[in-house]
Amino acid sequence: MPTLLVLELSADQAGSFRFAAMFDFDDLPEVSAAEHEEDLAKQYELERAVISVGPSPRTLAKTWNGDMKAAVCRRPLALAKAPIAVLMLPGNPCIGGYHAELPLPLAVDECLCKEGFPVVRFDWNGTGMNFAGIQKPTQDEAITGIEARAMFEIATHLGERVCLVPWNYSGPMAGAMCAREHPAFLPKACALISLSFGYGQWEFVSRFVGQEAGDGLKEAFEFHRAVDVPTLYVFGSKDTFTPEQDVQRIINTRKDQGKGATLKVIDQSEQQMHGPEYFMMTGKEMEVGKACAEWLKGVRRDIVEANSIDA
Protein backbone atom coordinates (compact mmCIF):
# COMPACT_ATOMS: atom_id res chain seq x y z
CA MET A 1 0.00 0.00 0.00
CA PRO A 2 1.59 3.35 -1.00
CA THR A 3 2.50 5.58 1.95
CA LEU A 4 2.37 9.40 2.01
CA LEU A 5 5.79 10.73 3.02
CA VAL A 6 5.87 14.40 4.13
CA LEU A 7 9.24 16.09 4.58
CA GLU A 8 9.78 19.48 6.29
CA LEU A 9 12.45 21.40 4.36
CA SER A 10 13.91 24.89 4.98
CA ALA A 11 15.47 27.28 2.48
CA ASP A 12 17.21 30.59 3.19
CA GLN A 13 15.47 32.51 0.41
CA ALA A 14 12.19 30.78 -0.03
CA GLY A 15 11.42 30.15 3.63
CA SER A 16 9.92 26.83 4.53
CA PHE A 17 7.73 24.75 2.33
CA ARG A 18 6.24 21.32 2.27
CA PHE A 19 7.07 18.60 -0.16
CA ALA A 20 4.83 15.60 -0.51
CA ALA A 21 5.70 12.47 -2.42
CA MET A 22 4.21 9.09 -2.85
CA PHE A 23 6.69 6.40 -1.71
CA ASP A 24 5.92 2.72 -2.13
CA PHE A 25 7.89 0.59 0.32
CA ASP A 26 7.04 -2.42 -1.83
CA ASP A 27 9.52 -0.99 -4.34
CA LEU A 28 12.42 -1.64 -1.97
CA PRO A 29 14.52 -4.69 -2.91
CA GLU A 30 13.90 -7.67 -0.65
CA VAL A 31 16.75 -8.81 1.55
CA SER A 32 16.88 -12.56 2.00
CA ALA A 33 17.59 -14.20 5.34
CA ALA A 34 20.96 -15.37 4.00
CA GLU A 35 21.88 -11.85 2.86
CA HIS A 36 20.89 -10.50 6.26
CA GLU A 37 23.18 -13.04 7.92
CA GLU A 38 26.08 -12.06 5.69
CA ASP A 39 25.43 -8.38 6.49
CA LEU A 40 25.67 -9.19 10.20
CA ALA A 41 29.01 -10.89 9.56
CA LYS A 42 30.30 -7.70 7.92
CA GLN A 43 28.91 -5.31 10.53
CA TYR A 44 30.06 -7.02 13.72
CA GLU A 45 33.60 -8.07 14.48
CA LEU A 46 33.81 -11.29 16.43
CA GLU A 47 35.40 -11.26 19.87
CA ARG A 48 38.33 -13.48 20.82
CA ALA A 49 38.90 -15.10 24.19
CA VAL A 50 40.57 -18.06 25.85
CA ILE A 51 38.19 -20.02 28.06
CA SER A 52 38.44 -22.93 30.48
CA VAL A 53 36.38 -26.00 29.70
CA GLY A 54 35.53 -28.57 32.34
CA PRO A 55 34.13 -32.06 31.83
CA SER A 56 30.48 -32.40 30.94
CA PRO A 57 28.17 -34.13 33.47
CA ARG A 58 28.39 -37.30 31.36
CA THR A 59 32.20 -37.42 31.48
CA LEU A 60 33.93 -40.00 33.66
CA ALA A 61 36.31 -38.32 36.11
CA LYS A 62 39.14 -40.73 35.33
CA THR A 63 39.23 -39.60 31.68
CA TRP A 64 39.52 -35.89 32.48
CA ASN A 65 42.55 -34.30 34.08
CA GLY A 66 41.59 -30.76 35.10
CA ASP A 67 40.06 -27.99 33.02
CA MET A 68 41.16 -27.56 29.41
CA LYS A 69 41.72 -24.34 27.52
CA ALA A 70 40.05 -23.41 24.27
CA ALA A 71 40.60 -20.39 22.02
CA VAL A 72 37.22 -19.09 20.89
CA CYS A 73 36.03 -16.50 18.42
CA ARG A 74 32.44 -15.51 19.25
CA ARG A 75 29.68 -13.06 18.42
CA PRO A 76 29.01 -10.05 20.66
CA LEU A 77 26.61 -11.06 23.43
CA ALA A 78 23.94 -8.68 22.06
CA LEU A 79 23.54 -10.87 18.97
CA ALA A 80 21.70 -14.16 18.72
CA LYS A 81 23.54 -17.40 18.09
CA ALA A 82 25.13 -17.75 14.69
CA PRO A 83 23.51 -20.26 12.30
CA ILE A 84 26.79 -22.21 12.22
CA ALA A 85 29.69 -22.34 14.65
CA VAL A 86 32.92 -24.20 13.90
CA LEU A 87 34.76 -26.74 16.03
CA MET A 88 38.35 -27.35 14.93
CA LEU A 89 39.59 -30.79 16.00
CA PRO A 90 43.38 -31.06 16.51
CA GLY A 91 45.81 -33.25 14.63
CA ASN A 92 47.74 -36.25 15.93
CA PRO A 93 48.67 -35.64 19.60
CA CYS A 94 51.56 -38.14 19.59
CA ILE A 95 53.18 -38.06 16.15
CA GLY A 96 54.14 -35.01 14.10
CA GLY A 97 53.96 -32.34 16.79
CA TYR A 98 50.57 -31.05 15.63
CA HIS A 99 48.91 -28.39 17.77
CA ALA A 100 46.34 -25.61 17.43
CA GLU A 101 48.86 -22.75 17.18
CA LEU A 102 50.46 -24.00 13.97
CA PRO A 103 50.07 -21.83 10.81
CA LEU A 104 47.39 -24.02 9.19
CA PRO A 105 44.78 -24.05 12.00
CA LEU A 106 45.51 -20.38 12.74
CA ALA A 107 44.90 -19.40 9.10
CA VAL A 108 41.68 -21.41 8.85
CA ASP A 109 40.48 -19.90 12.13
CA GLU A 110 41.27 -16.37 10.91
CA CYS A 111 39.48 -16.77 7.58
CA LEU A 112 36.38 -18.33 9.15
CA CYS A 113 36.14 -15.61 11.79
CA LYS A 114 36.40 -12.91 9.13
CA GLU A 115 33.28 -14.35 7.52
CA GLY A 116 31.35 -14.28 10.81
CA PHE A 117 31.72 -17.92 11.89
CA PRO A 118 32.30 -18.41 15.63
CA VAL A 119 35.19 -20.83 16.14
CA VAL A 120 36.33 -23.13 18.94
CA ARG A 121 39.98 -24.18 18.59
CA PHE A 122 41.78 -26.34 21.17
CA ASP A 123 44.45 -28.95 21.78
CA TRP A 124 44.14 -32.44 23.18
CA ASN A 125 44.93 -32.75 26.86
CA GLY A 126 48.70 -32.94 27.33
CA THR A 127 49.57 -31.04 24.13
CA GLY A 128 49.86 -27.43 22.94
CA MET A 129 47.77 -24.95 24.91
CA ASN A 130 46.67 -27.83 27.15
CA PHE A 131 50.16 -29.03 28.01
CA ALA A 132 50.06 -29.16 31.80
CA GLY A 133 52.97 -31.52 32.38
CA ILE A 134 50.73 -34.18 33.94
CA GLN A 135 48.53 -35.69 31.24
CA LYS A 136 50.47 -37.60 28.60
CA PRO A 137 49.33 -37.19 24.98
CA THR A 138 47.27 -40.13 23.79
CA GLN A 139 45.62 -41.37 20.60
CA ASP A 140 43.06 -43.32 22.62
CA GLU A 141 39.70 -42.09 21.32
CA ALA A 142 38.05 -43.22 24.54
CA ILE A 143 39.79 -40.12 25.95
CA THR A 144 40.13 -37.74 23.00
CA GLY A 145 36.54 -38.47 21.93
CA ILE A 146 35.26 -37.27 25.30
CA GLU A 147 37.35 -34.12 25.00
CA ALA A 148 36.01 -33.50 21.49
CA ARG A 149 32.40 -33.88 22.62
CA ALA A 150 32.94 -31.46 25.49
CA MET A 151 34.31 -28.89 23.05
CA PHE A 152 31.41 -29.61 20.68
CA GLU A 153 29.06 -28.67 23.50
CA ILE A 154 30.87 -25.32 23.82
CA ALA A 155 30.41 -24.77 20.09
CA THR A 156 26.65 -25.34 20.39
CA HIS A 157 26.49 -22.33 22.72
CA LEU A 158 27.94 -20.18 19.92
CA GLY A 159 25.95 -21.53 16.98
CA GLU A 160 22.67 -23.27 16.29
CA ARG A 161 24.56 -25.99 14.45
CA VAL A 162 28.22 -26.98 14.20
CA CYS A 163 30.67 -27.57 11.37
CA LEU A 164 33.51 -29.91 12.31
CA VAL A 165 37.01 -29.20 10.98
CA PRO A 166 39.30 -32.17 11.70
CA TRP A 167 42.99 -32.31 10.83
CA ASN A 168 44.54 -35.70 9.91
CA TYR A 169 44.22 -37.91 13.06
CA SER A 170 40.81 -36.50 13.99
CA GLY A 171 39.27 -37.11 10.54
CA PRO A 172 37.79 -40.56 11.32
CA MET A 173 36.43 -39.26 14.64
CA ALA A 174 34.71 -36.33 12.92
CA GLY A 175 33.32 -38.63 10.24
CA ALA A 176 31.65 -40.77 12.90
CA MET A 177 30.15 -37.65 14.49
CA CYS A 178 28.59 -36.75 11.13
CA ALA A 179 27.18 -40.21 10.30
CA ARG A 180 23.68 -40.97 11.57
CA GLU A 181 24.33 -44.70 11.71
CA HIS A 182 27.32 -44.35 14.05
CA PRO A 183 26.91 -44.37 17.87
CA ALA A 184 29.08 -41.22 18.09
CA PHE A 185 26.71 -39.24 15.82
CA LEU A 186 25.97 -35.69 16.98
CA PRO A 187 22.62 -34.38 15.64
CA LYS A 188 23.74 -30.74 15.59
CA ALA A 189 26.67 -31.48 13.28
CA CYS A 190 25.76 -29.86 9.97
CA ALA A 191 28.95 -29.85 7.89
CA LEU A 192 32.45 -31.29 7.74
CA ILE A 193 35.69 -29.76 6.46
CA SER A 194 38.52 -32.28 6.36
CA LEU A 195 42.07 -30.91 6.34
CA SER A 196 44.69 -33.36 5.03
CA PHE A 197 42.45 -36.43 5.22
CA GLY A 198 45.47 -38.73 5.54
CA TYR A 199 43.84 -41.91 4.25
CA GLY A 200 47.18 -43.53 3.41
CA GLN A 201 48.28 -43.54 7.03
CA TRP A 202 46.63 -46.92 7.50
CA GLU A 203 49.45 -48.49 5.52
CA PHE A 204 52.03 -46.83 7.76
CA VAL A 205 50.21 -48.14 10.84
CA SER A 206 50.01 -51.65 9.36
CA ARG A 207 53.74 -51.66 8.76
CA PHE A 208 54.93 -50.29 12.09
CA VAL A 209 52.14 -51.12 14.54
CA GLY A 210 50.41 -54.20 13.16
CA GLN A 211 48.02 -55.41 10.49
CA GLU A 212 45.00 -55.41 12.78
CA ALA A 213 45.58 -51.80 13.82
CA GLY A 214 46.12 -50.78 10.21
CA ASP A 215 42.95 -52.49 9.02
CA GLY A 216 40.99 -50.82 11.81
CA LEU A 217 42.28 -47.40 10.81
CA LYS A 218 41.53 -48.09 7.15
CA GLU A 219 37.92 -48.92 7.96
CA ALA A 220 37.63 -45.78 10.09
CA PHE A 221 38.69 -43.70 7.08
CA GLU A 222 36.44 -45.69 4.75
CA PHE A 223 33.51 -44.98 7.08
CA HIS A 224 33.40 -41.47 5.61
CA ARG A 225 31.13 -43.16 3.06
CA ALA A 226 28.41 -42.92 5.74
CA VAL A 227 28.81 -39.17 6.27
CA ASP A 228 25.58 -37.47 5.22
CA VAL A 229 26.32 -33.79 5.77
CA PRO A 230 27.92 -31.40 3.24
CA THR A 231 31.64 -32.16 3.23
CA LEU A 232 34.76 -30.42 1.92
CA TYR A 233 38.07 -32.26 1.61
CA VAL A 234 41.11 -29.98 1.39
CA PHE A 235 44.58 -31.42 0.84
CA GLY A 236 47.78 -30.74 -1.07
CA SER A 237 48.54 -32.11 -4.53
CA LYS A 238 51.82 -33.61 -3.22
CA ASP A 239 50.33 -35.03 -0.04
CA THR A 240 51.25 -38.70 -0.40
CA PHE A 241 49.10 -39.63 2.60
CA THR A 242 45.96 -38.34 0.85
CA PRO A 243 45.71 -39.84 -2.65
CA GLU A 244 42.99 -38.00 -4.55
CA GLN A 245 41.68 -41.19 -6.17
CA ASP A 246 41.06 -42.81 -2.78
CA VAL A 247 39.20 -39.79 -1.44
CA GLN A 248 37.10 -39.62 -4.60
CA ARG A 249 36.34 -43.34 -4.41
CA ILE A 250 35.12 -43.04 -0.81
CA ILE A 251 32.85 -40.07 -1.45
CA ASN A 252 31.41 -41.76 -4.54
CA THR A 253 30.07 -44.49 -2.24
CA ARG A 254 28.14 -42.01 -0.08
CA LYS A 255 24.37 -42.32 -0.02
CA ASP A 256 24.15 -39.19 -2.16
CA GLN A 257 26.69 -40.65 -4.65
CA GLY A 258 29.11 -37.90 -3.67
CA LYS A 259 26.85 -34.97 -4.54
CA GLY A 260 27.25 -33.52 -1.07
CA ALA A 261 31.05 -33.70 -1.07
CA THR A 262 33.62 -31.39 -2.66
CA LEU A 263 37.35 -31.85 -3.25
CA LYS A 264 39.72 -28.88 -3.06
CA VAL A 265 43.23 -29.90 -4.09
CA ILE A 266 45.81 -27.23 -3.25
CA ASP A 267 48.41 -26.90 -6.02
CA GLN A 268 51.88 -27.68 -4.65
CA SER A 269 53.54 -28.36 -8.02
CA GLU A 270 56.02 -25.50 -7.66
CA GLN A 271 56.95 -26.26 -4.06
CA GLN A 272 60.01 -28.29 -3.07
CA MET A 273 59.65 -29.39 0.56
CA HIS A 274 59.89 -32.35 2.89
CA GLY A 275 56.95 -34.78 2.94
CA PRO A 276 55.36 -33.61 6.20
CA GLU A 277 55.29 -30.03 4.91
CA TYR A 278 53.06 -31.05 2.00
CA PHE A 279 50.80 -32.78 4.53
CA MET A 280 50.66 -29.52 6.56
CA MET A 281 50.12 -27.47 3.36
CA THR A 282 53.03 -25.24 4.35
CA GLY A 283 53.07 -21.90 2.55
CA LYS A 284 49.48 -22.38 1.38
CA GLU A 285 47.73 -21.84 4.70
CA MET A 286 45.79 -18.71 3.76
CA GLU A 287 44.69 -20.26 0.47
CA VAL A 288 43.33 -23.17 2.47
CA GLY A 289 41.61 -20.86 4.95
CA LYS A 290 39.91 -18.82 2.24
CA ALA A 291 38.71 -21.96 0.45
CA CYS A 292 37.21 -23.28 3.69
CA ALA A 293 35.47 -20.00 4.49
CA GLU A 294 34.04 -19.56 1.00
CA TRP A 295 32.67 -23.10 0.94
CA LEU A 296 31.13 -22.80 4.40
CA LYS A 297 29.45 -19.52 3.43
CA GLY A 298 27.55 -21.52 0.81
CA VAL A 299 26.46 -24.08 3.41
CA ARG A 300 25.35 -21.28 5.73
CA ARG A 301 23.37 -19.67 2.93
CA ASP A 302 21.56 -22.93 2.21
CA ILE A 303 20.75 -23.59 5.88
CA VAL A 304 19.51 -20.06 6.57
CA GLU A 305 17.33 -20.01 3.47
CA ALA A 306 15.89 -23.45 4.29
CA ASN A 307 15.10 -22.30 7.84
CA SER A 308 13.38 -19.14 6.56
CA ILE A 309 11.17 -21.21 4.26
CA ASP A 310 10.26 -23.60 7.08
CA ALA A 311 9.40 -20.66 9.32
Which pLDDT does position 41 carry in this prediction? 77
Which pLDDT does position 28 carry in this prediction? 43
Helix (H, G, I), strand (E, B) or coil at 308: helix
Which pLDDT does position 5 carry in this prediction? 39
Between CA 95 and CA 133 the distance in angstroms is 18
38-310 fold: Rossmann fold (3.40.50)
Q: Are strands 119-122 and 68-74 parallel, antiparallel or unpaired?
A: antiparallel
Give the start-end residues of each E strand in the chain: 3-11, 15-23, 47-53, 68-74, 82-89, 119-122, 159-166, 189-195, 231-236, 261-266
- What pTM did the predictor assign? 0.86
Consecutive 10-residue averages of pLDDT for the chain (311 residues) = 42 42 47 77 88 67 69 92 97 90 97 96 92 78 91 96 96 97 97 96 88 93 96 97 96 96 97 93 98 97 87 60
pLDDT tens digits for 78-96? 899 999 999 999 999 888 8
Helix ranges (H only) for 82-164 are 103-114, 141-158
Burial status of residue 13 (CB atoms within 10 A of its CB: 0-12, 13-18, 19 or more): exposed
pLDDT tens digits for 172-225? 999 999 999 999 999 999 999 999 999 998 888 888 899 999 999 999 999 999
